[in-house]
Amino acid sequence: MPHTTLITRILVTGFTYVDAGLNLMATQAQYSPYNPPIHFLASELHQQGKLAQDTRQPIKLVEAKRETPDISTFTFELSDGATFDVLPGQHAIFDFSAENTNQYRHMADDNPQSLNDDYIRSWTISSVPDIDGKGEYAPSSRFSCTIKNKSGGAISPMLHRWARNRSYHPDLNIKFIGAEGDFTCFDEHHNLKYEKLLFIAGGVGITPFLCMLKVIQKRKVKVDLVLLFSARGEEVQLAKRFLETGTDARIFDTERDGMVEKVNYVEAFQRRIESEDIAAVPALKERGVYLCGPTEFMNAVRSYLEQAGVNPGDVYSESFTF
């Protein structure tokens, strides 16, 4: 069971079945905040196409670029000239467990889920891999991730503190586990899977699309691309790169109510994405649809796509369940 530091094995030697032994009636299921996340066996990870072997190696945080007050792009570099293979749209997995200074606690009413935090994090790689003379992606030793500062989080505030004043913060002890994922609009030959694309992003779920957009620009690929981006407040600014390329980008700011407002020169609808917005995309059923964002957001969008008659086989989504 990779990436698990403590396992309790229970051997059942016998049992007694008592019919109706617990005289309770369940009305609505609600998970306890102390429930730990599911850890998968190596064989199960392999079936899911995820990393099963332990590939941890030291990595340094070398640079930070502020995108908005709460969002920054962090650049990491592997030590001793080590490299790894990465494809556009993949995410990197980090181990921050060496930075965990918490001592054992049985309960934590102020933050119950912190007791189950393994300090493993995954973020989309937002930088573009190097391309060699043959048009192939070259192994990388340096890459970037665009990360939002999550209030009350254990890791993102630590990174943003480092970015604000590096001279007062020593190097962080980070291990790089690897890169994985097949959420990309390119095939194994680095060609687009579809001539027409629809990117639908929620919040920082736009990061894999930023990387794909850069590759499209770098390779000078012609594509019919539409972006629907649901954001909150300052997250709207992440869409600027799409707007600068002339992409048909429709931005939705869920932090305010109203019709259309320009937020720091980014025009945004002041509401959530609705089913009508999906149905209004030109040639919708001819597009490869790529979806990334919070689970609730993706569930809602999937229902809108289904209502619009989009083939489920043409819809691809990214989940960061590790």
Query: To 10 degrees, the CA torsion angle through 127, 94, 208, 182?
Result: 110
Is it the case that residue 87 has pLDDT exceeding 70? yes
161 and 225 fall within a common domain? no
131 and 91 fall within a common domain? yes
Q: Kindly state whether residue 256 falls inside one of the protein's structural domains.
A: yes
Q: What is the CATH number of the domain that holds 306?
A: 3.40.50.80
268 and 294 fall within a common domain? yes
In whole angstroms, give the CA distance from residue 159 to residue 65: 12
Is it the case that residue 277 has pLDDT exceeding 50? yes
175 and 57 fall within a common domain? yes
Give a three-class secondary structure readout of 35-59: CCCCCCCHHHHHHCCCCCCCCCEEE
Q: Kindly state whether residue 28 falls inside one of the protein's structural domains.
A: no
Q: What is this structure's pTM?
A: 0.73
268 and 202 fall within a common domain? yes
260 and 156 fall within a common domain? no
In whole angstroms, give the CA distance from residue 94 to residue 72: 17
Q: What is the CATH number of the domain that holds 75?
A: 2.40.30.10
- Structure confidence by residue, pLDDT tens digits, 302-314: 999 999 999 999 9
Q: Structural domain tally of the chain?
A: 2
Using 50, 70 and 90 to split pLDDT, how confident is the model at 188? Answer: confident
Q: Kindly state whether residue 69 falls inside one of the protein's structural domains.
A: yes
Question: To the nearest whole number, what is the mean pLDDT of the chain?
Answer: 83
Domain that holds residue 242: 196-317
Q: Which residues of 13-26 are buried (b: 16+ CB within 10 A; e: fewer)?
A: eeeeeeeeeeeeee
- Structure confidence by residue, pLDDT tens digits, 5-49: 667 789 999 999 988 788 777 777 777 766 666 778 888 887 877
